[in-house]
């Protein structure tokens, strides 16, 4: 059976880790998108304030199967 997938890009953030930032992005997307299949981490960065890391950010691509 042929399938078609859509890919979107999101940025997740966390005060503690990149892994948690990715998890936040996936969990948020799963509230409105069905049939999530793959997450690809494209870029990791940190927010720095006064010489301290205040947030970990992950830019991710999520794919999900198109219906119909």
Domain boundaries, the chain: 5-65
Question: Does residue 67 carry a pLDDT above 90?
Answer: no
Q: Is the pTM of this model over 0.95?
A: no
Given CATH 3.30.1300.10, say whether it is the number of domain 5-65.
no
pLDDT digits (tens, 9 = 90+) for 13-28: 999 999 999 999 999 9
Look up residue 19 and give its DSSP letter.
Answer: H
Residues with Cβ within 8 Å of 63's Cβ and at least 6 positions away in sequence, in order, are 5, 6, 7, 36, 37, 38, 39
Separation CA 63–CA 39 (nearest Å): 7
> Percent of the chain beyond pLDDT 90?
82
Question: Does residue 51 carry a pLDDT above 70?
Answer: yes
């Amino acid at each position: 059976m042929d399938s078609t997938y859509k890919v979107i890009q999101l940025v997740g953030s966390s005060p503690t880790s990149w892994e948690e930032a990715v998890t936040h992005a996936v969990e948020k997307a799963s509230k409105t998108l069905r049939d999530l299949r793959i997450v690809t981490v494209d870029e990791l960065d940190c927010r720095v304030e006064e010489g301290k890391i205040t947030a970990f950010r992950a830019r991710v691509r999520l794919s999900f199967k198109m219906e119909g």
